[in-house]
Amino acid sequence: MIATSLALALAIQAATPAAPPRLTPEQEQARGQAAIEGMAQVYTVLGSCERHFTPEQVRAVRAPLEPEPGAAQSPLQSLIDQAYQRGKADTTKSAPFCQEVMRMLAEAQRGG
């Protein structure tokens, strides 16, 4: 009985994820900056693929960059839109590459 209880307690402890370590403000800022830079890179690629996308795909990609009615773009939207516009100048991405990018994004949105 004690062995079973001990085994159960150890199994529960192993299955329970440890609390994430606390980050310093500098680490939190670095993570936030890395996330923003990653988003900018993604939108640079999406901008370079725009010419291969369907109009529906372009609208879906650009929707997060549009401000709420009557509002201006947020600084983040502006930064990401600038990355998208820079990407549009890059014509090296092939149609198959761009469609694979869209497939991967759709899959990620579905949670798969």
Cβ partners under 8 Å of residue 18, min gap 6: none
Q: Element (H or E) spanning 38, and its range?
A: helix 25-49
Average pLDDT, the chain: 84
> Tokens 């820079």 — which residue?
86
pLDDT band at 50 (very low <50, low <70, confident <90, very high): very high
Length of the chain: 112
**Higher confidence at residue 12 or residue 34?**
34
Confidence of residue 16 (pLDDT cuts 50, 70, 90): low
Of 60, 56, 58, 50, nearest to 98 (Cα)? 50
In the chain, where the domains are located: 31-110
- Quick check: 52 and 92 in contact, CB under 8 A? no
